[in-house]
Amino acid sequence: MEPSAAAQAAINTVSATLQTSGLSVSDYIVILLEQPKLWEHSCTVNLVNNATKIITALSSHPYSKDSAFNWAAMTVRKIK
């Protein structure tokens, strides 16, 4: 499913803003999740509320499915 024109425009705007600021998408996400003062930020809340959807997408993506599977296996081993 292709993103709508509006979604693609938003993606381009966010990407340009992050690039201009020198912040990668992954750094942005990690900062939101690791900084307690940002835990109530709407973007953090959205990430947390959609964690299953995000993890599913990562585990289905051809470039990240191996690392997602390895992370899950390591996590299960730590729990046991």
CA distance 4 to 2: 6
pTM of the model: 0.80
Q: What is the pLDDT, as a whole number, of residue 10?
A: 96
pLDDT in tens, 7-58: 999 999 999 999 999 999 999 999 999 999 999 999 999 999 999 999 999 9
- The answer to whether 68 and 59 have CB atoms below 8 angstroms apart is yes
